[in-house]
A and B are shown apart, each in its own frame.
Chain A
Amino acid sequence: MLGPLRLKGGIIDDVKRSLEKYNDEYFICEIGLTEEGYKNLLNELTNKNNVKEEGYVNHK
Chain B
Amino acid sequence: MSTINDVLTILRNYNDEPEEMERILMCLSKEEQAKLKDLRITLVDQIDCPNKCDILIDFYEMLKITSETPETKIDKPKLNDWKIYLWGKAYRNCKPLVKWCRQAIKDGKLPKRVDENGWLYLYVNDLLPYKGHVLDGINAGSIDLFTVINDDVISGIEIKMLIKQIINDGMPNINPSYLPELKAGRLGYVAAYNKGTEKYLQAVGLGKWLN
Contacts and interface: CB of A to CB of B under 8 A. Distances in A.
Given A22-B39, A59-B44, A60-B48, A15 B11 contact: yes
A45 B39 CA distance: 12
A11 B10 contact: yes
A22 B13 CA distance: 20
B128 interface: no
Contacts of A1: none
B3 A22 contact: yes
Contact of B3 (A7, A30, A53): A30
Interface string A1-31: 0000001100110111011111010110011
Contacts of B54: 57
Interface stretch (B23-31, B159-167, B187-195, B203-211): B23-31
Contact of A27 (B24, B27, B38, B57): B38
Q: Is the interface of B mostly helix, strand, loop or mixed?
A: helix
- If over half of A's interface residues share one DSSP class (helix, strand or loop), that class is named, otherwise mixed; here it is helix
Interface residues of A, number: 27
A49 interface: yes
B108 interface: no
Most buried by B among A11, A24, A31: A11
A59 B54 CA distance: 10
Given A11-B24, A20-B32, A48-B44, 12 more contacts: A11-B20, A12-B24, A14-B10, A15-B11, A15-B36, A16-B32, A19-B35, A22-B38, A22-B39, A27-B4, A30-B2, A49-B57
Interface of A: 7-8, 11-12, 14-16, 18-22, 24, 26-27, 30-31, 41-42, 45, 48-49, 52-53, 57, 59-60
